[in-house]
Amino acid sequence: MSLSRRNTSALTTGIALIAAVSLLIGCGPQRVAGNAIPFGGLDPATVAGLPVTHGPSGPLAGAPPIDFTYENGDNGEMDQIAMSAVADLYLYWADEYPDTFGGMPFEPVARLASYHAEESPIMICGMDTGGVPNAFYCPPEDAIAWDRGVLMPMLDQQFGPMAVVTVLAHEMGHAVQYKSGNMTADMPTILAEQQADCYAGGYFRYIADGNSPYFEVSTGEGLNAILAALFSIRDQAGTDFRGPQAHGNAFDRTTAFIFGFSDGASRCAEMDVPEMQERITQLEFAPSDDSGELEVNEQHVALVEQSLAEVFAEELDEAPRLDLSGTTCGETEPAAYCVDGNSIGLDMPELAAIGTPPTPGGDPAAAGIGDFAAFAEIASRYTMAVQEQAGLSLKGPSAGLRTACLTGSWAGMLMPNRSTDTTSYGGLRISPGDLDEAVAELLGEDSLIAADVDGASVPSGFARVEAFQVGFEEGSDPCTERFGD
């Protein structure tokens, strides 16, 4: 978050290995069915119309044999998962492609290749893959290649085997773009990348619906892990969205994936430049910026309080009072809403710890998330006053999603060029990396941003992120309208 003003920027064929960020990952049951609910049509008991499930996520036993070949493989675990993913994607697109693209049949890619970036590189698409831990689609050769030695094992170790499947689903999405004619010479890289993330989301809905003979994924911890994997391969804060290697920040990548999961491949095919320019949130640092991180102290908390009071002025008869001496009257840490007295207790040392961002080479255990995560936790408790004065229940999953949505609506008003009055809201502005910090907090084990007054978090990280995004994109009205008691 920043005190300075910024201009919005917008964002990017391949998955680039950036920096892996550890979040809570888990395994989770599957083979569930439900009715698809479009993005924003949230039900706190489901994930886009599917029940929240907990159980295994990964390859299914007894999967069908694979009757096509690939180059340079070692038939190890990573190659087996990759080939199962390709076989499954062929099945998915054989059905989905004609429905999405006017009855045209889907044609499998011409070439599949595995390599080890350190020990067994290959020449493909005019490139030597030695020292290139990546996965990519090559349009001239209609080829998909993946690094089985560095990239895939890293993703599997941190996020589980379905992260490997996510990478292949993304690259197959690029193949679909070219085969369908979706990809044009002037398509911005960021749009191509967001569309491929969206196509991956559509494929994972097929798995979650129990239609895959090769994989299963839970809608609880399993989808949380997929979103965390997308988080780990986000662009670094401040990346120029116009760059040829830009893929998008975590907020925009997870949004695109959720679109596909909720609305299907047809929603992805509709993505275009105007839609992207309206939705994209990736920012560049202004010349006067340092890190875009504010110290979590009394002065800056006062500005956050001012911004919240101004954003929710129409919803509040009486603004809650902030008490910086601790959380003695509430049930949650490090911020608690006290119904009696309409106040918010804050544990400033704990908030400061959350607001301390990780540093390169630093001790991950000693770092928090970043300033926006801490300020958004304060905002989440502030929205309790909004809900209380609207006569809404402060307990249960609906209250948790409503809280995430209202916190997102506050964040949306701080986005440069989104608010109508650029001089108000405490003089604060969203800065590069802030929304990624929100995603990190929302995917945490006990997200306060998506918790009710007692701190009970909505079980699904997917639903938490989507609720925040709805508020960010559409403002506060949908939050109270869609999440009734």
pLDDT at 482 over 70: yes
Nearest to 282 by CA among 9, 81, 67, 7: 9
Q: How far apart are CA 172 and CA 58, in angstroms?
A: 19
In the predicted model, what is the mean pLDDT of residues 277-302? Answer: 72
Name the amino acid, one letter, at 77. E
The dihedral sign for the CA sequence 68, 105, 265, 48:
negative
Q: What is the pTM of this model?
A: 0.80
Nearest to 430 by CA among 371, 380, 474: 371
Residue predicted with more confidence, 440 or 246: 440
In the predicted model, what is the mean pLDDT of residues 155-160? Answer: 93
Residue predicted with more confidence, 85 or 26: 85
Which residue has tokens 């369908």? Answer: 180
pLDDT at 82 over 60: yes
Confidence band, pLDDT 50/70/90 cuts, at residue 365: low
pLDDT at 322 over 60: yes
Instruction: Enter the tokens of residue 180.
Output: 């369908």
Count of beta carbons in the 10 Å neighbourhood of residue 445: 10
Confidence band, pLDDT 50/70/90 cuts, at residue 449: very high
Residues 6+ apart with CB under 8 A from 299: none
How large a percentage of the chain has pLDDT more than 90? 59
Q: How far apart are CA 372 and CA 391, in angstroms?
A: 28
Q: Give me the pLDDT at residue 43, please.
A: 67
Q: Give me the pLDDT at residue 139, please.
A: 93
Residues 6+ apart with CB under 8 A from 361: none
Confidence band, pLDDT 50/70/90 cuts, at residue 278: confident
Q: Give me the pLDDT at residue 291, please.
A: 56
Nearest to 443 by CA among 462, 456, 430: 462
Instruction: Provide the mean pLDDT of the chain.
Output: 83
Q: Give me the pLDDT at residue 3, please.
A: 65
pLDDT at 419 over 60: no
Confidence band, pLDDT 50/70/90 cuts, at residue 16: very low
pLDDT at 423 over 80: no
Confidence band, pLDDT 50/70/90 cuts, at residue 248: low
pLDDT at 238 over 60: no
CB 373 within 8 A of CB 14: no
What is the DSSP track for 70-109? -BS----HHHHHHHHHHHHHHHHHHHHHHHHTTTPPP---
CB 457 within 8 A of CB 465: no
pLDDT in tens, 84-123: 999 999 999 999 999 999 999 999 999 999 999 999 999 9
The H or E element that residue 335 is part of is strand 335-338
In the predicted model, what is the mean pLDDT of residues 418-433? Answer: 67
In the predicted model, what is the mean pLDDT of residues 284-296? Answer: 65
In the predicted model, what is the mean pLDDT of residues 132-152? Answer: 95
CB 285 within 8 A of CB 238: yes
Cβ neighbourhood burial of 342 (10 Å; 0-12, 13-18, 19+): middle
Q: How far apart are CA 121 and CA 115, in angstroms?
A: 5
What is the DSSP track for 145-210? EEETTTHHHHHHHHH-HHHHHHHHHHHHHHHHHHHHT---TT--HHHHHHHHHHHHHHHHHHHHTT
pLDDT in tens, 160-212: 999 999 999 999 999 999 999 888 777 888 888 889 999 999 999 999 999 99
Indicate the SS3 state at residue 454.
Answer: coil
Q: Give me the pLDDT at residue 363, please.
A: 60
Highest-confidence segment of 348-352, 359-363, 444-448, 481-485: 348-352
Q: Which of 81-90, 186-195, 300-309, 395-404 bottoms out in mean pLDDT, i.e. has the lowest?
A: 186-195
Confidence band, pLDDT 50/70/90 cuts, at residue 402: very high
Q: How far apart are CA 105 and CA 442, in angstroms?
A: 39
Residue predicted with more confidence, 60 or 287: 60
Q: Give me the pLDDT at residue 36, please.
A: 47
- Angle of CA points 71, 226, 222, to nearest 5°: 110
The dihedral sign for the CA sequence 129, 134, 140, 143:
positive
CB 44 within 8 A of CB 231: no
Q: Give me the pLDDT at residue 416, please.
A: 73
